[in-house]
Amino acid sequence: MKDLDFIIETAGRAQGLLMHLETNFYPPLPSSVKRVFQDAFQGYWAGLYGVEGLEQELSRVYRGRLDQYDFWQFLDEQDGGWNE
């Protein structure tokens, strides 16, 4: 997704994640679900936990895998994702 790549490059992964959550899901995700995703990824990016911890944090609202719905784009390079 070209627009998302541009947002990630210019505004960072957090803004890209928010755009992804707000524009790529129908019906729209509730704010509480978006907040769980944002908080979980912030902890992952800060190095508080790895992919397994991220998946555990997300399991409160998400049953899929990180390679689904393009969430891989928000992983660190060593985990198969984007590198800022």
**pLDDT score recorded for residue 84:** 47
CA triple 33-15-34, angle to 5 deg = 5
With CA atoms as reference, report the closest residue to 20 among 81, 77, 59, 53. 81
Given a cut of 80, whether residue 5 has pLDDT beyond it is no
Q: In whole angstroms, what is the distance from residue 19 CA to residue 10 CA?
A: 13
Q: Which pLDDT tens digit goes with each residue over 16-32? A: 999 999 999 999 999 99
pLDDT digits (tens, 9 = 90+) for 26-67: 999 999 999 999 999 999 999 999 999 999 999 999 999 998
Is this structure's pTM higher than 0.75? yes
At residue 82, the pLDDT reads 60
